[in-house]
Amino acid sequence: MALSVEATTIPDLLVVRLPVHEDNRGWFKENWQREKMLVLGLPDFQPVQNNVSFNARRGATRGIHTEPWDKFVSVSSGRVFAAWVDMREGDTFGATFSIEIDPSVAVFVPRGVGNSYQALEDGTVYSYLVNEHWRAGESYPALHLADETVALAWPIPLDQADLSEKDLANPRLGDVTPMPRRRTLITGAGGQLGRALAEAFPQAHAVTRAELDLTDTEALQAWPWHEYDVVLNAAAYTAVDLAESAEGRRDAWAANAVGPTVLARLAREHRVTLVHYSTDYVFDGTVEEHAEDEPLSPLGSYGQSKAAGDLATTTAPRHYLLRTSWVVGDGKNFVRTMADLAARGISPSVVSDQLGRLTFTEELARATRHLLTSAAAYGTYHVSNGGDVTSWADVARVVFELSGRDPSDVTPITAAEYAVGKELAPRPTHSALDLTRLRATGYEPADARESLASYVAALQRP
């Protein structure tokens, strides 16, 4: 029999058929083989503890327990009738599945699915891998083995089986509070991107810096990470010019480098998918369109701190590093400033030799959802709106035209001319990002010009 993985009537509960090699001495099997099993669709659940339950007599029955971690269950000796009940909140609450397990069968049990079994032979050894260490005082749902609603078909009647007093005291299904599913956490929810993500992910837990400060390592470590399966890290230090000062440099590195480093470590420990947002400033701007594999070459302190955060993020096994450029959302930004100048009759001089594409926060949030829900490969993706590469002056002219002003009221100047008399951080000349890898996932970015028109129109509404 070849190694295989089968779906069941409970979502994410998987049956694994194991080859067992027998001879005159007994048998041998690979009970857990990460590389082979992942190829067949088993989650990379990162077990950290192996537990063994010895069942002295036929009829020993245990359950129904819903621990807040994943399990990989099997038997080393004997046989069991195993049964599961979906105890997660949602449409499948109360769904059941059962199977007889001998040494040739194993089952992956996702967090929130109640687990139970009954030994069918004396001396049965039941073994299970788990991906979190047992925690004293942890409470979780349990269900009575004889619950009439799920009506599990125990081969040995329960009045003839061996049960613990604790299991006999478990509630019926109608009295059980379903286990909440792990949530999405949004950090930096007070910023432009954070607000857009909170709107796009309404069920997520969105926190501002006042609630969770990425520069506070102790606060990060104390956060209840076991309650989350995805973190959208929109928190960042974005004062590009101030980052060149001594104080600004320290603040930028604390938020953009140290914070993501701690987040990546916590994501590894808790099997969290980490989505981290970065910037075109990690490049020096000498390439006209930046691909994901271009070597990092930041010009200033802000870009250097973001580049360090990029490198840290890639150490999380489940990560999406999303680099973006010229961000526009609900808050202070270039487009809003130009619209305000147009409305007040001011004719600005705007840089014309820095080139890129706008990224509207709604677009970035939409791309984030796409990558998460389409099971796109983990890694680095460049995300912006689509369309032609433009200069800042080009964008300003369009904003003026959409605002009823003459586009010629915007005077193009060079970056060098704009910098005269100002203390500015160095900026990349070319900020456009190559969107080929993002498009390969089936995602098509919205045109920047069309999104700009919608954005300006929304600004003009009373």
Question: What backbone phi and psi angles, to 5 degrees, belong to 276?
Answer: -120, 140
57: which residues sit within 8 A by CB, 6+ positions away? 119, 122, 162
Distance CA 206, CA 200 (A): 11
Q: Are 15 and 24 in contact (CB under 8 A)?
A: no
Mind giving me the DSSP string for 261-298?
Answer: HHHHHHHHHHTPEEEEEEEGGGS-S-SSSB-TTSPP--
Distance of CA 390 to the CA centre of its chain: 32
| Token pair for 262 | 């701690």
Tally the residues of the chain: 462
List phi, psi (to 5°) of 121.
-140, 150
3-state DSSP assignment of residue 101: strand
320 is catalytic: no
By DSSP bridging, strand 96-101 and strand 80-86 are antiparallel
Q: For the chain, how are helix, strand and coil distributed in percent, rounded to 5?
A: 30, 25, 45
Judging by beta carbons within 10 Å of its beta carbon (0-12, 13-18, 19+), is residue 153 exposed, middle or buried?
exposed
Closest CA to 108 of 73, 78, 76: 73
CA distance 47 to 132: 7
Residues whose CB falls within 8 Å of the CB of residue 454, separated by 6 or more in sequence, listed in order: none
Helix axes 334-343, 392-402, angle to 10 degrees: 40
Is the Cβ–Cβ distance between 57 and 124 less than 8 Å? no
Residue 319 among the catalytic residues: no
Q: What distances in angstroms separate CA 113 from CA 106, 231, 351, one per listed residue?
A: 15, 23, 58
Which residue out of 117, 128, 281, 302 is catalytically annotated? 128
The residue from 65, 205, 226, 370 that is catalytic is: 65
Q: Is 82 exposed, middle or buried (0-12, 13-18, 19+ CB in 10 A)?
A: buried
Catalytic residues: 65, 128
